[in-house]
Amino acid sequence: EDENPTGYAFALVRTQTMTTAQIATATPTIAEDTAQERVMALLADTWAAPVDNDDDEEITCVISNKLKLRCPLSFERCSIPVRGENCMHLQCFGLLAYLESNMKMRALNNRWTCPVCNCMLRPQDLRRDAYVEKVLAETPEHIDEVLIMQDGSYRCIEEAPSGGQAAIDRAAQIAEEAAKAAAVADDGDVEEMFTTINDTDVPKQQKRKAQPSIQKHLTKRQRARMGSENDSD
């Protein structure tokens, strides 16, 4: 018999296996207005912070008002943006990418941590952000981040095209112009072309034919000879 029966504990835990689709369906959604109020609350210190702070004694940490739309796990735009209920950051991440990456992870001690702030984040603590879903639905696919304005609106951040992309766009424009020109030619709009022909371009034989024949003046002896030849005929 054990002399210390109170030195240990016995527990019975009932678990249930759930698929990613079941967890995604069970994840609650935060309403758009509530999610927007949360964003404004997180950025309150950012709007209140002065632009030029000459006081070196007081340092205030503020959150950037840039909202990234790409998932840090899949590096693609989030299809179902989620975050932790207690997370204090703007960026969301993809729900399916988060669930699949954690289910495939072998290190149990590294599972279920937020990919943005590394806080403990169980599936039951995930929340879908309807405000970020709205931003994703209203922005083009090539937009990676937006600026959150003080009134709750947002502005897209456009990146300048690289040199290679600019060359591709220019080549496409030239090809389009050439296609339009070919289409106009096919419609029957023919331009008249005037060509100047130099004397050197005419063959010598044609040149000779074009010249008029010139009769030479005959002498008296030649005329007499030609008359005798005609009488003999």
For the chain, list the strands marked E by DSSP.
Answer: 29-30, 66-68, 81-84, 93-94, 126-129, 145-148, 154-156
List, for residues 118-170, the tens digit of each pLDDT value.
Answer: 999 999 999 999 999 999 999 999 999 999 998 889 999 886 445 555 566 66
The per-residue pLDDT for 51 is: 52
Q: Phi and psi (nearest 5°) for 15?
A: -125, 165
Virtual CA dihedral for 173, 177, 178, 184, nearest 10 degrees? 160
Give me 68's structure tokens: 């990234």
Residue type at 144? D
Helix (H, G, I), strand (E, B) or coil at 155: strand
Q: Which two tokens stand for residue 185?
A: 């030619």
Torsion sign (Cα): 143, 149, 151, 155: negative
> How many other C-beta atoms can be found within 10 angstroms of the C-beta atom of residue 22?
13
- Which tokens is 186 given? 């096919």
For residue range 65-79, what is the model confidence (pLDDT) as tens digits? 899 999 999 999 999
